[in-house]
Amino acid sequence: MDTVYQVSENTYLVLPSGYCFVFGIRIVLQSLLVVFPYLMYLNLRQYDLTCLHKARELLIKDFQKKHSIPELASQVGINEYKLKHGFKQIFGMPVMTYLRTERLKQAKTLLEETNLTEAGISKKVGFKSASSFINAFKKEFGVLPHTLRKS
């Protein structure tokens, strides 16, 4: 049977074969988070989940609006910490990344289905300028908007 000893900040693992491994406490904790990532998750109640889904709906409903974390948290009735960390836990990405991704998906659909200009589309989905839209679009999809439209 393996034996584990704790001495100050180091953990020693002694195997039956006599091999001894020394782990710093930081390495042990990092390993635990890799193996058991749910240790980092927030304990979310049903009310929190409802608020997080409501926040997502607000983001999707109005792409053009300039959203902020404090304003969104206030609108849905949850604190900023739970909004930021809970949103990432539930939807897999931070709030503003999710908003940008949804804006770009909508822009791609508009490029494929309408004759709106790139500037018109960028404004419609909430980008401040056509150039920031074009840069974000290329980063997300790997092609420029006008290239996608031509194909």
pLDDT band at 146 (very low <50, low <70, confident <90, very high): confident
Section 70-91 average pLDDT:
94
What per-residue confidence (pLDDT) applies to 76?
96
Q: What is the mean pLDDT of the chain?
A: 80
Rounded CA-CA distance 116/47 in Å is: 41
What per-residue confidence (pLDDT) applies to 26?
54
Which range, of 36-40, 50-54, 73-77, averages the lowest pLDDT? Answer: 36-40
Q: CA dihedral in degrees (91, 97, 102, 108; nearest 10)?
A: -140
Rounded CA-CA distance 52/94 in Å is: 12
Section 74-101 average pLDDT:
93
Section 85-111 average pLDDT:
93
**Fold annotation for 99-150:** Arc Repressor Mutant, subunit A (1.10.10)
Helix (H, G, I), strand (E, B) or coil at 6: strand
Rounded CA-CA distance 120/127 in Å is: 10
Query: Is residue 23 predicted with pLDDT exceeding 70?
Result: no
Residue 1 near residue 9, CB atoms below 8 Å: no
Query: Is residue 123 predicted with pLDDT exceeding 80?
Result: yes
Section 33-42 average pLDDT:
54
127-130 long-range contacts (CB < 8 A, ≥24 apart) are 127/103
What per-residue confidence (pLDDT) applies to 97?
94
In the chain, % of residues over pLDDT 90:
54
What per-residue confidence (pLDDT) applies to 70?
96
Helix (H, G, I), strand (E, B) or coil at 137: helix
Beta strands in the chain (DSSP E): 3-7, 10-14, 20-24
Handedness of CA 123, 51, 92, 71 (dihedral sign): positive
